[in-house]
Structure 1
């Protein structure tokens, strides 16, 4: 039994899971017909191999070097071995890696120099193991106000790094500089049109909402989301051969569904909605969303298992596996949403993917102890920890640091 602090300041007893997710409560191996949670697993589920019915990317976090003598304002010190090992973990389950995105703390601890190095290293690792990768392209090397010409040049510089590294697809990320400089829809049409015309391969366009980054308020030229949607779709319609897909991160399932139904033939919708992803990936009679999600960093193996169930045509089985994870995701991504990275890295530490709970920029302090305790409880209940005893021991060590009595 472990005592976990609650939001009201009280300590509540919790009995952690004692068996790894691959075992039943009796300690016996889980039969092939049972899921990680013990529910019946649909027949025909493959134990591995590529995902077939959906393209799925996990936006992966970076692992900090805890021994580096650095400060929150200094360039990030990254543990490259652990960072790349985590990407191999995701690839081993059949997931793609969305590299150097907001989950990797772009603009929140990881600067462009660090992101460029991350892209180069991850792209080389992807080639070595045959993993799928897509990499974020932005303008975060700019400081202070910038003209549209400088913004285009900054985007071009980053696009060149991705293309020259063999880093798979480019993801054109939303730009804080463009949000500040853009006077209306015409500026977005100009900048994105310029970039799409010169992109060597089709890209993914990323619409990141202000809940993820307040500096992106009014993106696509208007704070009115209906007007912004029209501009966004105009960009896509003008260059359908250069747009592989669009990533929508607005936490509004209805808006995403309406938008994906208006995409040109052949242009995919990648959900970035960490609140409604099971229903959006499952889809409806008019279509479905692929996925590019930060929550698939901690959910990687379970997410892959669920999509393999979907590959068999069993939508109900897919929802049975993935629906119970939504409570954890909504907890990690609760407002202020941009600090979700803290919970993601915390769970990676508990799961044994890294040896410490330190983050670039000191962001491990961005969430409260009760928030982290609830994340541990929800993740443990889902069976996300390969070694529950290790997770419990690490949770206890954190509680000790915070002065929680045993």
Structure 2
């Protein structure tokens, strides 16, 4: 198909390339196959659990609903993939924090090249395995009172820990394989899949509630759906929003030709971290519930009381949970922004290319200028993420429509952001196929 190199691929060209280009088609099939495999694991049960009694006990728990959204319902059904990708995300957070604090890890990441990144990935896997064991022990202790007759306590604990940890490691392997050989970020796509898996039930319950005959319920449900639509539009605008910093390239001579000054721009996204600050913050908030369930069964005295107090303070829906959630989102927004964009490197690259920002001296002044703009943009993006994560949920509680329990604006933000990022990666692959086709014709 003939296409201009300067234009973004149209929908028709994208679908044609997805169907005809072997490389792109292979990546899509690998991604779909691995995502289907990940869904199958949620239906493989952990042995020895009375699922009817467990489901009855947790059906009105907002904490379980919050956790269940990231496992695609595997937690409420006690599947072997109940932990999902959460241990791997927590391990990634720890590694990224340690990389900025420990010179040895920073050297591995920046100076050792591909070998260093492989070592960091291996360390991340080990930490994820440790988190998987910790979470599995907590869940196994929590499930003790829901075991079927004839299952010994020690055997049940050991088998549950092995099953849940192995399931978590398998999910981690799937996410890495998607990132390497498929399309998009594996961890984000797995969370996207889990959210989509529970969405039909929430929508079905909402429509049943709207058809109950009560006009006030119908009005409140429509109002809530309108809020979600408005938030979706806002998310798209913010995710696509950029600040364009003008750049002037100096006049220079190449052979006998003199290139004139060219004006371009340096794009800085309003939300540099994308969906990752929300995912990181949500994963951190899972920890108090896991520790509380373990403390109630394995610990006693002051330690158990302190952990339970922290869990009560951070229980989903409480003011403490909302405040801490917003603070975590702001923190991870700035943290992830510092990982994605380095103003010093950006200023040095501009200086090497003979480019500069009008009115700003090259070098240190340019890096400070970019850092100041980036800081303001990150603050605006973090505030928006905090609003998206908290306000619609408060509106849902105020309207009294609880059918979206577990699926809130946070989930909506993840869905929209991951869809946008994956679509952009597909477009990038289509453009690369376009260039390969042009080279082949030449």
| TM-score of the superposed pair, with normalisation by structure 2 | 0.23
Q: Which has the larger radius of gyration?
A: 2
Structure with greater strand share of residues: 1
Structure with greater helix share of residues: 2
